[in-house]
Amino acid sequence: MTPSRPAYSPGQQVPTRSQRDRPTFASSENRVEAANSFHRGVSNYGSVRPGYPAEVVDLLARHMGQNSHRDFDTPLRILDIGAGPGSLTVDLDKRFPGSVLASDPSPEMTALCDARLPHVPVIRSRAESTGLADSCLTAATCAQTWHWLDTDQACRELDRVLVPDGVCLLVWNTLDVSAPWVHRLARIMHSGDILRPGFIPQVAPPWTISDDWRGAFNQAITAHNMIPLAHTRSYWLRATEKTREHVDNNLRWYLYQHLEIPEHQPIELPYRTDAFIMRRQQER
């Protein structure tokens, strides 16, 4: 996994952008429906979605180390919000063993995460209402999650459950559509989570984006497994059987006939990674 140059200057606070960087939904109900669709893609999500570059957890660890008022007699506690099958949870657990818990609103996802990491506590909860005690967390993480949330409610909840100088990591893997063949692939898959290069996520008071890391990597994946990869997209999960069949047929034509990729030959699928640290505005 190859990191790119950081998109910020040391000591310079990253400004908050407008909501143009967020996916758009017809209503809050539509947003919740789209987010809830992922429980139907459990079996594929954990096996075909890629993990995250090591620099993502490095970013979190560095900022946790900057908590100047932290009581070092108090154990670390890190919540992976919207953990899904544990794609980031597993990396957090390796770096901070015994300090991580995971949450997800989906019973199917929490069961998968629990089976993958039986020693990590897994709870069913929404990011906007975790059910945890006040000031009980050192840090929180949201991987492929933040754009599905009610930003105002999630920021209020994080303000409640994080210690005074706690931090939150927001991170996305995004197909790198700067490659023309990937751009067309993403359109066929209806990948709605393609965020433009240089985007900064919308947050709400008292939080601000204080740091970021931008990188890139390639996922080794067969053309055959790109079909179930498409099945992890919200568009496919919410579609009718007829629409699903149409998407699958278009993908098979594009991969096997147009690109002439052998079905079981591994290829390099390029991704961007965008990671951000969120801190309270009054902290310096």
203: helix, strand or coil: coil
Query: What does the pLDDT look like over 134-146, one tens digit per residue?
Result: 999 999 999 999 9
Judged by average pLDDT, the poorest of 28-42, 43-57, 82-96, 169-183 is 28-42
254 close to 248: Cβ distance less than 8 angstroms: no
Question: In the 8-state DSSP scheme, what is residue 27?
Answer: S
Provide the pLDDT for residue 237.
Answer: 85
Angle at 157 between CA 152 and CA 158, to 5 degrees: 100
Q: Mind listing the domains of the chain with CATH numbers? A: 2-175+201-216+272-280 (3.40.50.150)
Three-point CA angle 232, 34, 103, nearest 5°: 75
- Give residue 284's pLDDT band: very low, low, confident or very high (50, 70, 90): very low
Looking at every residue in the chain, the average pLDDT score rounds to 84
- Whether the pTM exceeds 0.75: the reply is yes
Of 148, 103, 144, the residue nearest 126 (C-alpha) = 103
